[in-house]
Amino acid sequence: MSLLSMRDVDAYYGRAQILDRVTMHVDRGDCVAVLGRNGVGKTTLINSLLGIATVRAGSVEMDGKPCLKIRNFDAAHRGISIVPQGRRIIGALTVQENLVLGAASRRKGPWTLSAVYDLFPVLRERADTSGTALSGGQQQMLAIGRALMANPELLILDEPSEGLAPVIVDQLIDMLNALAKSGTSILLVEQNIAFVRDVVKRYYVLSKGRVIEEGPMDGVPIEKLRQHIAV
């Protein structure tokens, strides 16, 4: 049984249809990428899981249970954590307070403050600093740590490498690979193809709201993948 399953999903913002009969799945321990140019529906796919985009046809299931009525505020209770594009760190809170906020769902699991600090030692060093006073790479670590504090079964990351220095991207690759090996399922929306190839097992390509290609990542030429994001 898939952890996340979307079948023939049509998603809208108001009267505007963005997703057209999208079918995809993420299995337990899976690491999957969604690729495509800007504006093809990648973020809408995430928003359709959060009630931000309206699903008018098709089915969405989490662990075999329908979740069409899921809302942003209770996604974490269902085992879904999001690392949003732009990170959305709360500047009025310290690093530690941002992390504690991620544990509001009170789901049980291995991720505690201590565990996150072990994963990202710099966050322990800067625990009392305002979240927005961190560098871009450190803010991304904070956003991921905050998401992990909900002890998710499925971690969704929207353009996590955006704006990061190559050395930080390499650290992010190592961290996501470690998470995948620990059993956390990952859904990665990303345009950095080199980054994607180092992390995921399978991929889907969206174009004009439809899945036009899917398959295992192993052995796919990087030039073939890049054609799906080239302007």
Quick one: DSSP state of residue 3? S
What's residue 203's pLDDT? 96
Query: Rounded distance, CA 179 to CA 17, Å?
Result: 34
Task: Dump pLDDT digits (tens) for 129-183.
Answer: 999 999 988 999 899 999 999 999 999 999 888 888 888 889 889 989 988 888 8
Helix (H, G, I), strand (E, B) or coil at 84: coil
In a domain, 4, yes or no: yes
Task: Dump pLDDT digits (tens) for 212-229.
Answer: 999 999 988 888 888 877
Instruction: Give the model's confidence band at 8: pLDDT under 50 very low, under 70 low, under 90 confident, else very high.
Output: very high
> Where does 157-208 have alpha helices with state H?
166-181, 193-197
What's residue 69's pLDDT? 60
The whole-chain average pLDDT of the chain stands at: 89
> Where does the chain have alpha helices with state H?
42-47, 95-101, 113-119, 121-125, 136-148, 166-181, 193-197, 222-226
What's residue 199's pLDDT? 93
In a domain, 230, yes or no: yes
In a domain, 14, yes or no: yes
What's residue 229's pLDDT? 77
In a domain, 116, yes or no: no
In a domain, 73, yes or no: yes
Count CB atoms within 10 A of the CB of residue 213.
15
Reference 142, options 70, 89, 196; nearest CA is: 89
pLDDT more than 90, % of the chain? 56
The answer to whether 107 and 151 are in contact (CB under 8 A) is yes
Region 64-81: mean pLDDT is 74
Note down the domain range covering 198: 1-79+191-231
What's residue 72's pLDDT? 58
Query: Rounded distance, CA 151 to CA 153, Å?
Result: 7
What's residue 230's pLDDT? 63
pTM above 0.75, yes or no: yes
Q: Is the pLDDT of residue 231 over 60?
A: no
Our count of domains for the chain comes to 1
Region 194-223: mean pLDDT is 92
Q: What is the dihedral of CA 59, 65, 67, 68, to 10 degrees?
A: 30
Question: Between helices 136-148 and 166-181, what is the axis angle to 10°?
Answer: 10
In a domain, 126, yes or no: no
Task: Dump pLDDT digits (tens) for 33-55.
Answer: 999 988 899 999 999 888 889 99
In a domain, 225, yes or no: yes
Instruction: Give the model's confidence band at 209: pLDDT under 50 very low, under 70 low, under 90 confident, else very high.
Output: very high
The CATH number assigned to the domain holding 53 equals 3.40.50.300
What's residue 71's pLDDT? 63
When comparing pLDDT for 60 and 230, which is higher? Answer: 60
Range scoring the smallest mean pLDDT among 8-22, 55-69, 92-106, 125-139: 55-69
